[in-house]
Chain A
Amino acid sequence: MAVIRDVMPAFELFQPASIEDAQAVLDRYGAGALVLAGGLDSLDWLKDRIKRPQALVDLSGIPELKGIAALEDGLEIGAMTTLTDVVRHPVVRERYAILLDAAESAASPQIRNQGTIGGNVSQDTRCWYYRAGWACYRAGGNICYADTPDAINREHAILEADRCVAVTPSDTAPALIVLDAQMVIRTAAGDERIVAAEDYFIGPGTDITRMTILQPGDLLTSIRLPGTWGGARFYFEKVRDRQVWDFALVSVASAMVTTGAGGGSAIERVRLAVGGAAARPLRLAAVEDLVRGRPRNEATADLAGALAVEGAQPLRFNAYKVPLMRNLVKRAIRGVEAATWTS
């Protein structure tokens, strides 16, 4: 049961200066260790006494995890780079503006100054039943309190629910998926493992207790942005209850390359992803296949929107997410001005 005490419980604090040192601590404590990036998600867990790690491994003193470096055709962003630094980077602004939009939509300026991109993509879900410390599926129990007949589930999943109906809270995740980002992981064994962003996130059907593929001892060290989608036509929109310091109800991200101009343009290549609709950010591959080669017009946007929400199963209080997601996908295809909002 959550009891906010505003006083930290006892734990061993480690502030390693290298990835190797950090992993040595993680190896020593195993599941008893908690990794601290910006601390904006982790510290709540500790103060609420829901997570009681023996050891806290603060990554903020590891220089190699910070900063943005140019690659031959892209960028490599250290996992401990703050969201503010991501937003301010000139290449991000010039070639990967969707990441700028997504990172800038996260929380508040103060939080973006402290919060890191690695923490943003690896943070835990905001389902309050789970965060209250109840024994739900995600916490190792055998029930989803958010998916009961009288549950308050306005923010929960409409797609891919599998016992648990929590959603991903990450704003940058859909943007990274459409940019075809590569997540660089240092495994507990010390090996480097690179996975596509869309494979970094996992749903409850795969593992109900985790949001990402990170295993105990693994560290996300950096995120690589290839040039594939650099400079494409981007669209990012995050709908939330209030316009600052709030999580997405639904967000959409798209990267598109078109041929032709104006009303006669056709979609040559496209990637689409949504956040807030499922436990993981969803790449809409079927929608991409549908719209590829079609004119970028209202009819295509309608088709895309309808297909995007196919199979949606709303809960008691979140049916609004179905038209919301459909319209956001329409906008992502057609643009805000041209796409007609339909209920």
Chain B
Amino acid sequence: MDFLTWARSPWDQPILTHLSWDLLWASLFAGVVFLAAHASYMVLSAHRKRHADETDAMEAAHAHLPARVVRHSLAARLFHWVMAAAMFTLLFTAFLPIAGVQFAWVTWHWAAGLVLTASILFHILHATVWLDFWSIWVGPSDLPELKAELLREFGHDVPGPRSGKYPLGNRLYHLAIVAAGLSVMATGLFMMVRVRTPFLTRNPYLLSDGAWGVTYVLHGMAGVALVGLVMAHVYFAVRPEKWWITKSMILGWITRRQYLEHHDPERWPVRPE
């Protein structure tokens, strides 16, 4: 299997054209294998959350907290669902034609790309100004949580730290989405000068042949990676034990008990009623 597709330029030089689309199938396959493996593991998993009596005690101690703890503001939820719609449109318009479903996809693709770009820019501004910007990122300070989470996965009772507002897996996923999303967005914006749009004058000579090749390959790599990432995201969103998180992305809140059961009140303090 080739990873890259090459061609000859009019000057008979080898030029990159795009990623080998065999990798789309590889990404799909990897995604399905991961889902199957994770689902199988979860059947046997001994993942430990707080004991009910421990949570009962915490709930009694934190009775001053609101019954509904706001997890996602309306603006954050709107961003998420607009971005999801744009992402699905982008993936379907990009890969269905490659899979053999032929339709006029280009306009839908760049229009959805602009919606995604706008929603990402909004999200960056919103998260920087109105949200706790650093709560979604991972760093060396998360190593104790990583160790504790791994031990809980293997059935140990670990008193170590629980997650702040976002579980560690959530934050790692966000990191991957940031890398793939920003790559696909930046390269996609450049690629818009290669097609006719009402916004830009076509200029295929903006970059050299070699630079265009790298741009297309990066766009393809990020796109193929997003296939697997989105599959994983949807999978976790519909898993029963994660449904409370998905529900919070719809309704905006979680219950006080869910908050105490899954989060560390010191790492994600909630104001009392």
- A214 vs chain B, min Cβ distance (A): 12
The CA of A145 and the CA of B212, in the complex, are separated in Å by: 14
Q: Considering only CB atoms, which chain A residue lies closest to B100 in the complex?
A: A215
Cα-based distance from A139 to B213 in the complex (angstroms) = 15
Smallest beta-carbon distance A189→chain B, Å: 14
Instruction: Report the minimum CB–CB distance from A3 to chain B (whole Å).
Output: 11
Query: Which residue of chain B lies nearest to A151 when distances are taken between CB atoms in the complex?
Result: B204
- Contact status of A207 and B18, CB under 8 A, knowing A143-B212, A163-B194, A163-B195: no
- In this assembly, does B41 line the interface, its C-beta being within 8 Å of a C-beta of chain A? no
Inside 8 A of B9's CB, which chain A residues have their CB? Answer: 134-135
A343 at the interface (CB under 8 A from B): no
| 8 Å CB contact of B202 from A133, A147, A202, A207 | A147
Contact yes or no, A140 B17, CB < 8 A: yes
For residue B103, which residues in chain A have a CB less than 8 angstroms away from its CB?
205-206
Bound-state CA distance A1–B9 (Å) is 9
Q: Which residues of B contact A313 (CB under 8 A)?
A: 196
A246 within 8 A of partner (CB): no
User: Known contacts being A135-B17, A148-B204, A205-B104, is A142 close to B196, with CB within 8 Å?
Assistant: no
Give the complex CA separation of A135 and B8 in angstroms: 7
Q: How far is the CA of A163 from the CA of B202 in the complex (A)?
A: 10
Q: Interface readout for A129-168 with B: 1 if CB under 8 Å, 0 if not?
A: 0001111000111111101110000000000011100000
Tell me how many residue pairs across A and B have CB atoms closer than 8 Å: 57
Interface residues on B, range: 20 to 34
A206 touches B8 (CB 8 A): no
Q: In the complex, which residues of chain B have a beta carbon less than 8 angstroms from the beta carbon of A145?
A: 10
Q: What is the chain A residue whose CB lies nearest that of B15?
A: A135
Q: Are A149 and B205 in contact (CB under 8 A)?
A: yes
Given contacts A135-B7, A141-B17, A161-B196, contact A206 B102 (CB under 8 A): yes
Starting from the known contacts A142-B194, A162-B104, A206-B102, 8 additional A-B residue pairs (CB-CB under 8 Å) come to A1-B10, A132-B10, A134-B8, A134-B9, A142-B212, A148-B204, A205-B105, A205-B107
Q: List A residues 296-325 near B (Cβ within 8 Å).
A: 313
B residues touching A (Cβ–Cβ < 8 Å)?
5, 7-10, 12, 15, 17-18, 97, 102-107, 194-196, 202-205, 212-213, 216
Interchain CA distance A130-B213 in the complex, whole Å: 19
A203: Cβ under 8 A from any B Cβ: yes
**Chain A window 104-137, contacts with chain B (Cβ cutoff 8 Å), 1 for yes, 0 for no:** 0000000000000000000000000000111100
5 of the cross-chain contacts (CB-CB < 8 Å) are: A135-B7, A142-B18, A144-B204, A149-B205, A205-B103
Instruction: Tell me the dominant secondary structure on chain A's binding face.
Output: loop
Given contacts A163-B194, A207-B97, A313-B196, contact A142 B17 (CB under 8 A): yes
CA distance A161 to B213 in the complex (A): 22
Give the nearest-CB partner of A207 in chain B.
Answer: B102
Q: Which residues in A have their C-beta under 8 angstroms from that of B204?
A: 143-144, 147-148
* Min distance, Cβ A280 to any Cβ of chain B, angstroms: 12
Cα A203 to Cα B17 with chains together (Å): 22
In-complex Cβ contact of B106 among A132, A140, A163 (8 A): A163
Chain A residues 194 to 230 lying within 8 A of chain B, measured CB to CB, are 202-203, 205-207
Select from chain B the residue with minimum beta-carbon distance to A215. B100
Are the CB atoms of B205 and A148 closer together than 8 Å? yes
Task: Point out the residue from B7, B10, B12, B212 that lies within 8 Å of A140, measured CB to CB.
Answer: B7
Instruction: Chain A residues near B12: list those with CB within 8 A.
Output: 1
- Cβ of A144 to closest chain B Cβ, rounded Å: 7
A142 in contact with B216 (CB, 8 Å): yes
CB neighbours (8 Å) of A147 from chain B are 202, 204
Query: Within the complex, what minimum Cβ distance (angstroms) separates B209 from chain A?
Result: 8
Instruction: Output the least CB separation between A257 and chain B (Å).
Output: 32
Once the chains bind, are A1 and B8 in contact (CB under 8 Å)?
yes
Specify which chain B residues have a CB less than 8 angstroms from the CB of A135 in the assembled complex. 7-9, 15, 17
Write the nearest CB–CB distance from A195 to chain B, whole angstroms.
14
In the bound complex, CA of A313 to CA of B205 (Å): 20
CB distance from B35 to the nearest CB of A (A): 31
- Shortest beta-carbon distance, B198 to chain A, in Å? 11
Beyond A140-B5, A149-B205, whether A205 also contacts B17 by CB under 8 A is no
Contact (A143, B104) CB under 8 Å given A135-B9, A148-B204: no
Residue numbers in B under 8 Å from A142 (CB-CB): 17-18, 194, 212-213, 216
Which residues of chain A have C-beta atoms less than 8 A from B195's C-beta? Answer: 162-163
Query: Is there contact, CB below 8 Å, between B5 and A202?
Result: no
Residue of B nearest to A136 (CB): B7
Task: List chain A residues, Cβ under 8 A from B7.
Answer: 135, 139-141
Inside 8 A of A162's CB, which chain B residues have their CB? 104, 106, 195-196
**How far is A134 from B7 in the complex, measured between Cα atoms in Å?**
8
